[in-house]
Chain A
Amino acid sequence: MRTIVTTLGTDRVRRLRATLTVLLAAAAAGYVPFYFAPFQVFQLTMVLLYAVALSGLNLLVGFGGQISLGHGAFFAAGAYTAAVMLDRHDTGHLATLPVAAAGCFLLGLGFGVPALRLRGLYLALVTLSFAVFLPPLLKRLEPLTGGSMGLTVEKLQPPAWSGLAEDQWTYFVVLVVTTVALLLARNLLRSRVGRALLALRDNESAAEVMGVRLSLHKTLAFAWSAMFAGVAGCLYTWVIGFVSPDSFSFVLSVTLLAGLVVGGLASLYGPLLGAAFVMYVPSVSQDLDEAAPGVVFGLLIIAVMYVAPTGLAGLPGRVRGLVARRLPRPAAAPDRTPETGSPPDARPEPQAGDGPFATPGPADPAVVDAEPVGAPPRTEKE
């Protein structure tokens, strides 16, 4: 009750706050390429691009509840679409984006149909074997894809009027595409489609009874999600200017899923955090050992699943909840006093709710669902 009143009261403050946050973020994002060195700007560009792929995967895994271990394949499809168009047909960069998006949407639609009959584990199996199959297929289609040598294409070049360096121009282009993509994902989830997906994830039968069309929405979720991965792949070609089958091995698919889980499933900010994680953890730990990123990734994924199923994005909320639960409730204190005379083995009742057993078990599904869709990690409710 108290929460509701507070929420209503802070509605205007909240809107003001949101506007301010957006303005600040925009200012920071605009300032960044002029402050950092080209290599760091490049890294930030890669973070943005991964965020697009992760937000697509999030649609499928976080909100749709379907497991894909093959999103690297859609990423590769987008990247190769762009590379082949640039290399063979010289279409210019902008034209490749809609083609990659539409192509991957259709590819995802094609995959979504068998995915309807495959639940959970089996879908993971099929997408995994697809991801393993793709690199050799790309090598085989040599006349088109350049075989195992890959394709080298022109990177994005800044137009003369902008007066920007190559890395800065690329950054801004990717920033625009990423912003549009993330907004699209956000609005998609707040629409009829998003609500239908959530309902299906939480209880398929109940959702169907309520009139949600299961087959349509599950297939579409796959298609949307593949489209985002394809767009990210297209951006990848723009930024790197080189594609080869070995860049899109099975490891990429696993890394994407890992990044999403660590960043936060079913959260709108999770993909951004996860993308930063995917980009920076390898580059930082690579100095120690070639294998260090994998060790860190693997351990973190397992640890996140145990202690924070909501990922980095959900961490602040969880910590607050935990602290609130540990602190003694003021109203409960007087009730407890008369019971102190009872025998020691009769455990005072309120303790059961306050003790360590009350903390949500590892991977408690209810906790994931408890995060309201689209709401930022709530920090205003002190």
Chain B
Amino acid sequence: MSVVTDLLQQVVEGLGSGAVYASLALALVLIHRFTGIVNFAQGELAMLSTYVAWQLVASGMPFWLALPVTLAVSFAGGMLVERLVIRPVQGAPELTVVIVTVGLFIFVNALAGLVWSFTVKDFPQPFPDGGLYLAGVRLDWSTLGMIAVVAVVMGLLYLLFQHTSIGLVMRAVAGNPASARLSGIRVGRVLMLGWGLAATVGAVSGVLVAPVLFLEPNMMGGVLVYAFAAATLGGFDSPVGAVVGGLFVGVAETLTGAYVDVIGADLKVGVPLVIILAVLLVRPQGLFGRAAVERA
């Protein structure tokens, strides 16, 4: 295998894992757009959704039926979390909100352990084995599938936000909650909707990554850090940025793991740390984000 083919192979694999980071980052960005909160529990909520999917499949439901059920459950769960956990601290200082989402993180993580135990579970691979070869580069069906799913999610969100009346309402709330409320929009319900959507998108990332990482309560901890890096790189208020950032982080991670011997496979988790630090120091608003102008 030539050097170039090898490089391309690594890039393709990076794009595959990048797709997972992109969808979790998308969930983070959605919530940040609507509520200005960075949800530290996003990964854990996705993990919980993945357990729901696992439970459904284990009880005999075919995967492609279990998926929509899981997504619906996640949507409802996300709305519930917003209403019960986040609404009471909406508008509170940042420190309070962060601590509440960290509390939610610990709680959800332990809850999954309580219900499903900490033993590792096998998650069914939804995509067929094998793949196709393109110019000597192997494209697994699973990699292609992951990228396709994220593209579909992205497209659906675009349609929802830009071409439906509910999307218009949601953008109004994200843009200026006070004005939206004055023009008769039930801001609270829209925020619940936003959290529901984010939980659904996050669930997609959990289901996609579970066959690779194996299902256990701490599965999403690492993924969350990569998703943070992706969202920071793309800009916390840009959905397109989240996807681009996710793919970039995925490729960067795979390439450094493969080609930089000092880093190797075990220190790859340093890559998101470096990306986050570099972006925040050089261009804090991210590639696609708008710089917030504050009046002191």
Instruction: Using CB atoms, name the residue of chain B closest to A125.
Output: B228
The answer to whether A295 and B110 touch (CB under 8 A), given A61-B95, A137-B267, A305-B100, is yes
Q: B217: which A residues are within 8 A, CB to CB?
A: 291
Residues A69 and B102 in contact, CB atoms below 8 Å apart:
yes
Count residues on chain B whose CB falls below 8 Å from chain A CBs. Answer: 48
A257 interface contact, C-beta 8 A:
yes
**Separation of A291 and B267 alpha carbons in the complex (Å):** 28
A114 interface contact, C-beta 8 A:
yes
A28 to chain B, nearest CB (A): 32
Q: Which of A69, A120, A129, A295 has the most CB of B within 10 A?
A: A129
B269 interface contact, C-beta 8 A:
yes
Q: B113: which A residues are within 8 A, CB to CB?
A: 290-291, 294
Residues B104 and A305 in contact, CB atoms below 8 Å apart:
no
Residues B269 and A362 in contact, CB atoms below 8 Å apart:
no
A147 to chain B, nearest CB (A): 11
A55 to chain B, nearest CB (A): 18
B175 interface contact, C-beta 8 A:
no
Q: A290: which B residues are within 8 A, CB to CB?
A: 113, 117-118
**Separation of A139 and B266 alpha carbons in the complex (Å):** 9
Residues B228 and A301 in contact, CB atoms below 8 Å apart:
no
A141 to chain B, nearest CB (A): 10
Q: Mark B91-113, 1 if CB is under 8 A from A, else 0.
A: 01111101110111111111111
B20 interface contact, C-beta 8 A:
no
Q: B95: which A residues are within 8 A, CB to CB?
A: 61, 65, 67, 120
B88 interface contact, C-beta 8 A:
yes
A34 interface contact, C-beta 8 A:
no
Residues A122 and B280 in contact, CB atoms below 8 Å apart:
yes
The answer to whether A114 and B108 touch (CB under 8 A), given A120-B94, A129-B272, A292-B114, is no
The answer to whether A302 and B103 touch (CB under 8 A), given A133-B273, A292-B110, is yes
The answer to whether A261 and B99 touch (CB under 8 A), given A129-B276, A130-B273, A133-B273, is yes
* 6 pairs, CB–CB < 8 Å, chain A vs chain B: A126-B276, A140-B266, A295-B114, A301-B99, A363-B93, A363-B96
Q: Closest 8 interchain pairs by CB? A: A294-B110, A298-B107, A301-B103, A291-B113, A298-B106, A363-B92, A291-B114, A363-B96
With contacts A257-B99, A295-B110, A305-B99 known, what are 14 further pairs, Cβ within 8 A? A117-B284, A118-B280, A122-B232, A124-B40, A125-B232, A132-B273, A136-B266, A137-B270, A254-B105, A291-B113, A291-B118, A302-B100, A306-B88, A363-B92
